Amino acid sequence: MTYRSSTLGIASRYMAEIAKLDEETTNTYKNTFRIERKLNRTLVSFQANKNRPFYRWYKFKEAYSADMVEYFMDMYSMRNVPVFDPFAGSGTSLFTASERGLNSVGIELLPIGHQIVKTRRILSQNQSEDRIKLLKKWRDKKPWVNMTQQSDFVELRITKGAYPIENQRSLQKYLSAIENETSELQDVLLFVLLCVLDDISYTRKDGQFLRWDYRSGRQLGKTKFDKGKIYFFDDAIVSKLNEIISDIEDRQFPSTIFVPAQPGEIMLHEGSCLSILPDIESSQFGALITSPPYCNRYDYTRTYAKELAILGINEEKLMQMRQSMLSCTVENREKDLVSMNPDWGAAIKTANNHALLQLIITYLNELKDEKKINNSGIPRMVKGYFYEMSCVIAECSRILTSGSRLIMVNDNVRYAGVNISVDTILSDFASELGFIIENILVLPDEKGNSSQQMGTFGKESLRKCVYVWRKQ
Ligand SMILES: C[S@@+](CC[C@H](N)C(=O)[O-])C[C@H]1O[C@@H](n2cnc3c(N)ncnc32)[C@H](O)[C@@H]1O
């Protein structure tokens, strides 16, 4: 059947066909779908970390909670096995595993994730009295205040003017003051700074980009955005140091928190999982808990640009990082997966043979050719996302031991009027690439009710799910 036709009617004809194939695919999983009431938005987002010592320091908006990781570790009795996360972000899977005595390995592209993990590792080690004393000295004496020197940091086009002038000055004095400390303390103090950048700036992270408060004087668009309180630099740093010191001191004298005698080792690779995964030995991990970027145009290299600038990432490196990310923005160019790894033939074939995916891509491309899509990068992004994820899934299958589970948090998406069932398409890939699909756990909708019944899944709202796959 050919799907070419006049512009008029393209959408309706494709949409009917896509809906039919989608329903068929969904039906094949009807026994694996389950609405899991416990998996509410709080548990499956950063929210549940907000009051959790250590995890609450850096608010990584796209993180899931340590409670969620524990929930699955308990549910599937993940004990005495090494854990893997190819999209480690702030390291929630890695630290949760470590606290339970399990070794873990992760991959993360962005240096912000690395700085978070590196510092948390320093601060989770046995605490010397000296380290706490130094942090208290910084809190009480504020050594940056009387600095005459100010250190420059990278100014990116998209972050220029991000701070009120007083805060910018204090920030530069702070960067200058930390240069006098040991490299370990410098890392910790740099992390403290990263934790407060949002609070002291005119910007707020908003998925696809940074939103600018009207007080910045930057081009504002149509609506006036007021982010609310912008904190004074000194107050924000002192308050963050207080939080960190109090969490460390509480852990030294734990009341209820269980700390294993021997925390698991954490190892984090820096770079793209598409480049690093092929070098990882086969059959060595007993659990994989992860959340890739969603296919939703969120651009981490824009929303974390302030942090990346402080970490020395210039325009050129930022562009390279944007292109190395899993394709999830309209700016991602197509990656040459065959040249990246000749062993991905089966993964690419799996995506090539997926009728529903191919129909969606054809539909989106046709809309693009007819200039009927609001951004011409969408078809390329959707295609790139699924092909790259197919390769990631093939690699994850290869590095897991037989019988072990892969847990993945992901959301379905909608473009040009069609719902794209990321959950069933990726599950189809997984079952071709060595997994048994045990469950697709559906989050209850915002109101907590179960309007998403089998048969009507996806019609009213986009499913947000946790996939549970088991390596054959
Ligand atoms: C949804 S977040 C993961 C959050 C993590 N579960 C946590 O709790 O902090 C997805 C992460 O994937 C990273 N990422 C995107 N493309 C990547 C790639 N090609 N290789 C490795 N990491 C990548 C992003 O930088 C982001 O930190």
Q: What is the pLDDT of residues 241-256, one digit of tens each?
A: 999 999 999 887 655 5
CA distances from 148 to 134, 155, 182, 237 (A): 21, 21, 20, 19
**Which ligand 1 atom is the nearest neighbour of the CA of 90?**
9
Q: Which residues of 398-418 are buried (b: 16+ CB within 10 A; e: fewer)?
A: bbbeeebbbbbbbbbbebbeb
The chain-wide mean pLDDT, for the chain, equals 92
| Ligand 1 pocket check for 109: Cβ under 6 Å | yes
pLDDT of residue 453 exceeding 50:
no
**Which ligand 1 atom is the nearest neighbour of the CA of 388?**
19
> What pLDDT is recorded for position 447?
52
Average pLDDT over residues 133-155: 96
| Ligand 1 pocket check for 247: Cβ under 6 Å | no
CA of 340 to the centre of ligand 1 (A): 20
**Which ligand 1 atom is the nearest neighbour of the CA of 64?**
8
CA of 107 to the centre of ligand 1 (A): 8
What CA–CA distance (Å, rounded) separates 274 from 293?
A: 13
What CA–CA distance (Å, rounded) separates 349 from 333?
A: 20
| Ligand 1 pocket check for 385: Cβ under 6 Å | no
CA of 4 to the centre of ligand 1 (A): 37
CA of 425 to the centre of ligand 1 (A): 20
The neighbouring-strand residues paired with 288 are 84, 406
CA of 25 to the centre of ligand 1 (A): 28
Residue pLDDT, tens place only, 212-239: 999 999 866 778 999 999 999 999 999 9
Residue nearest to atom 20 of ligand 1 (CA): 272
Using most ligand atoms within 8 A of CB, pick from 49, 59, 62, 323 the residue to mutate for ligand 1: 62
| Ligand 1 pocket check for 293: Cβ under 6 Å | yes
C-beta of residue 414 within 8 angstroms of C-beta of residue 451: no
The domain locations on the chain are: 10-76+328-471, 110-270+294-311
Residue pLDDT, tens place only, 169-225: 999 999 999 999 999 999 999 999 999 999 999 999 998 899 999 999 986 677 899
CA of 124 to the centre of ligand 1 (A): 22
Q: For strands 418-420 and 400-411, give the pairing.
A: unpaired
Count of alpha carbons within 13 angstroms of residue 462, beta-carbon side: 16
Query: Which residue type occupies 431?
Result: S
**Which ligand 1 atom is the nearest neighbour of the CA of 304?**
25
| Ligand 1 pocket check for 89: Cβ under 6 Å | yes
> What pLDDT is recorded for position 129?
82
Closest to 338 in 3D by CA, of 330, 328, 329, 349: 349
Average pLDDT over residues 131-142: 96
Average pLDDT over residues 314-338: 97
Average pLDDT over residues 312-327: 98
Residue pLDDT, tens place only, 253-277: 655 555 555 899 999 999 999 999 9
Count of alpha carbons within 13 angstroms of residue 282, beta-carbon side: 5
Residue nearest to atom 7 of ligand 1 (CA): 63
Query: What is the pTM for the complete model shown?
Result: 0.94
What CA–CA distance (Å, rounded) separates 421 from 385?
A: 13
| Ligand 1 pocket check for 106: Cβ under 6 Å | no
**Which ligand 1 atom is the nearest neighbour of the CA of 92?**
8
**Which ligand 1 atom is the nearest neighbour of the CA of 274?**
19
Give alpha helix (H) positions in 335-407: 337-340, 345-352, 355-369, 378-399
C-beta of residue 358 within 8 angstroms of C-beta of residue 379: no
pLDDT of residue 1 exceeding 60:
no
Positive or negative: CA dihedral 109, 115, 119, 120? negative
> What pLDDT is recorded for position 35?
96
Residue nearest to atom 26 of ligand 1 (CA): 89
| Ligand 1 pocket check for 272: Cβ under 6 Å | yes
| Ligand 1 pocket check for 466: Cβ under 6 Å | no
**Which ligand 1 atom is the nearest neighbour of the CA of 272?**
20
| Ligand 1 pocket check for 62: Cβ under 6 Å | yes
CA of 353 to the centre of ligand 1 (A): 27
| Ligand 1 pocket check for 274: Cβ under 6 Å | yes
CA of 85 to the centre of ligand 1 (A): 9
C-beta of residue 194 within 8 angstroms of C-beta of residue 238: no
CA of 386 to the centre of ligand 1 (A): 16
What CA–CA distance (Å, rounded) separates 254 from 261?
A: 13
Average pLDDT over residues 144-161: 94
